Each structure stands twice: as structure tokens, then as C-alpha cells.
């Protein structure tokens, strides 16, 4: 393991006031998003959309890394430049989603596959320019779920993945996502989150993962999307910080949240509230690794039409800028309606 190589990567990924764009949607997922706008999910449409994001002027001020899908890693822009090289030129690190999706673990829960051949694939990805990776585990919440089987099995897979990554010079993003779907309370989410994160870090310790050279990408502690009343912004912030303080070692440099079914505005407001509440006992950077919460306004504005590219880039730039502000606790909800500065700053 080349520790100095990992340290150089994490130094950039954990830069204060910046976050990571998750642009690693599978063809099935991005196909659904395109279909909602009546845009055909062709190779060229997917390439054009991601080029729109990656070539947004000035985005490097707010984004320090991009998680790519395997298809995108080998694609080029209109000038023939590979996307990883294009990102590198802007000072943005290219990463890669390495898991192979979900398969049934039992009748109600899933486990993530993709460990077989991972080391060999990382060699290929590294030659294409990637230097960090992501693996997503998914947990369902109910009165009885996640089960101990699902927690332990997925925690072990996350730890094994992280070990293979670090052994091959990749910084691993460890993503245990507790799904927002359901009618569970905030308290039940907190209980399930704490149990899951305890197990994840127990397995990371057993596998001797270098915690200072990894990123945690957790879901926020939030009531299910069918629960009434919904969690308030401050409730989510307090509950999330409490769980993290109980479970995440101080060696972890950065916690980059997933947005997990929240609206773009909710995801930004929750991140902002946490950064305003954070204390010295919570030393990690609190940042974002959002997919839909960063992209949704841009995707809707683009709508598959070339003449909408500039307007879509403005929408993406604004969303990234607001989330970067939230990393410092400087976001205000009024900026959603009247952030003229972002419009003016965009070139």
C-alpha cells in the first residue's frame, strides 16, 4: 500500500468548502430520469449530458471530485478528450463506482455484489485516470429491519472493498445507505443508523483500513418519507450529528453525505444546519456527495436539447455553489429565490 499516494488523493478530496459530484448512475437509473423528461437514454445522450456537467465553467471552485460510471470513465468530450483527463485539467479528481449492484440477501433485504475481480478492474480504472472509488450498501428500515444478517454481511463487504481499494492505491468511499422509504420515525432511523455504522467501523478496523485515507458517505438521520409529521431541519441535524459522534472515529477526515431521496433544497439545508451545529468533538469535515440533489435542476433545464446547455449549466453551478456554502454553514434558504450572485459569477 502506497500510503503517500493515498494521502495525496485524500488531501484534495477532503478540501474544505468543496464536495463530490455523484455522476455514477447506472444505465437503468439514468434511463428512468431521462424517461421522465421524454429523453431517450442513448449512449450519446448520456455522454452529452455528463459533458454538460463536467464542462460547467468555474465548477472546480465547489467540486473536488466526480464519481463516474464505468461507461463514462472511457468516454470523451466533443474535442476528443477523455472525461477523466478533462476533469484533471480543472483540478477535479475522477473516481469510479465499482460495485455491481444489488442482489437478494433474503426475502426482504439486499447485499451488494462486485468483489470478484475488483483488484483487476481497479488496475484498468487506474490506467484510465481514476484514483478513488465508491461502493454502496443499502439497508431497509422497519420495526425489525435492518436485520443483523444484513448489517454484518454488508459491513464485511464494505470493509473488503475498502481494503482492496487501498491496497491498489485508491481512496475508498464507504457508502452505507439507510433508505428513506417507509414510515419509520426519526428515532428508529437513528437506532438503525447507529447499529449499522458501529458494524461498519468494526469491520473496517478488522480489515486494518487506513481511516485517514477513506471517506464515509452515509445517509442522514431522517424520518421515513411516509412518516408524519416530517422531520424538521434542526431535528435531522441534531440526530445525525449525535449518531456520528457515537460511531465515527476522529481519524476519518471527511463525511460526505448522500442526499437519499431528499429534494435539492432539503439536502442543502440539512448540510448547512449540521455545519452550524458542529462542535470540536465532531472534527470531521461535513460535506456532500450528491447525485440527484445536485443534478435535478440542471437535468430538467437541459431536457435533452442542445440549446438549453448554458441554462442547465447555470442551474448546476448554482446548486454546487449553494452546497459549497452549506459546507461552511453559510447557506440561507432565501438564496434559493434570490441568488443573483451565482448568476453573475457564471461565465
Hey, which residues are catalytic here?
A: 175, 217
Cα angle 210-211-215, degrees, rounded to a multiple of 5: 120
Query: Could you tell me whether strands 110-112 and 215-216 are parallel, antiparallel, or unpaired per DSSP bridges?
Result: unpaired
The rounded Cα 100 to chain-centroid distance in angstroms is 16
Instruction: Identify the burial level of 334 via C-beta atoms within 10 angstroms of its C-beta, where 0-12 means exposed, 13-18 middle and 19 or more buried.
Output: exposed
Q: Provide the residue count of the chain.
A: 347
3-state secondary structure of 327: coil
Nearest-angstrom CA–CA distance, 285 and 275: 9
Q: What is the 3-state secondary structure (H, E, C) of 206-266?
A: HCCCCHHHCEECCCCCCCCCCCCCCCCHHHHHHHHHHHHHHHCCCCCCEEEECCCCCCHHH
CA distances from 273 to 5, 277, 284, 332 (A): 34, 6, 15, 10
Nearest-angstrom CA–CA distance, 200 and 212: 15
Amino acid at each position: 500500500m502506497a500510503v503517500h499516494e493515498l494521502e495525496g488523493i485524500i488531501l484534495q478530496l477532503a478540501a474544505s468548502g468543496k464536495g463530490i459530484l455523484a455522476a455514477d448512475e447506472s444505465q437503468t437509473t439514468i434511463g428512468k430520469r431521462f424517461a421522465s423528461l421524454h429523453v431517450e437514454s442513448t449512449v450519446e445522450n448520456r455522454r452529452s449530458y455528463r459533458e454538460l456537467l463536467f464542462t460547467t465553467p468555474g465548477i472546480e471552485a465547489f467540486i473536488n471530485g466526480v464519481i463516474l460510471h464505468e461507461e463514462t470513465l472511457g468516454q470523451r468530450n466533443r474535442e476528443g478528450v477523455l472525461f477523466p483527463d478533462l476533469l484533471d485539467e480543472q483540478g477535479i479528481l475522477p473516481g469510479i463506482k465499482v460495485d455491481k449492484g444489488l442482489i437478494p440477501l433474503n426475502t426482504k433485504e439486499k447485499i451488494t455484489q462486485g468483489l470478484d475481480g475488483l483488484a483487476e478492474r481497479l488496475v484498468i480504472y487506474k490506467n484510465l485516470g481514476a484514483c478513488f472509488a465508491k461502493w454502496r450498501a443499502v439497508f431497509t428500515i422497519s420495526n425489525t429491519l435492518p436485520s443483523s444478517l444484513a448489517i454484518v454481511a454488508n459491513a464485511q463487504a464494505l470493509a473488503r472493498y475498502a481494503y482492496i481499494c487501498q491496497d491498489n492505491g485508491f481512496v475508498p468511499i464507504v457508502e452505507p445507505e439507510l433508505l428513506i422509504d417507509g414510515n419509520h420515525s426519526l428515532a428508529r432511523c437513528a437506532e438503525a443508523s447507529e447499529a449499522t455504522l458501529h458494524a461498519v467501523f468494526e469491520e473496517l478496523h478488522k480489515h486494518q483500513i487506513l481511516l485517514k485515507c477513506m471517506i464515509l458517505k452515509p445517509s442522514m438521520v431522517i424520518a421515513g418519507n411516509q412518516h408524519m409529521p416530517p422531520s424538521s431541519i434542526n431535528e435531522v441535524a441534531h440526530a445525525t450529528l449525535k449518531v456520528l459522534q457515537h460511531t465515527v472515529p476522529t481519524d476519518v477526515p471527511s463525511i460526505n453525505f448522500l442526499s437519499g431521496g431528499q429534494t435539492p433544497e432539503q439536502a442543502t439545508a440539512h448540510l448547512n444546519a449540521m455545519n452550524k451545529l458542529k462542535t470540536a468533538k465532531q472534527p470531521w469535515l461535513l460535506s456532500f456527495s450528491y447525485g440527484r440533489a445536485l443534478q435535478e435542476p440542471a437535468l430538467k433545464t437541459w431536457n435533452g436539447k442542445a440549446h438549453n446547455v448554458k441554462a442547465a449549466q447555470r442551474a448546476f453551478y448554482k446548486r454546487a455553489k449553494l452546497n459549497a456554502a452549506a459546507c461552511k454553514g453559510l447557506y440561507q434558504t432565501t438564496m434559493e429565490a434570490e441568488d443573483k450572485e451565482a448568476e453573475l459569477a457564471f461565465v
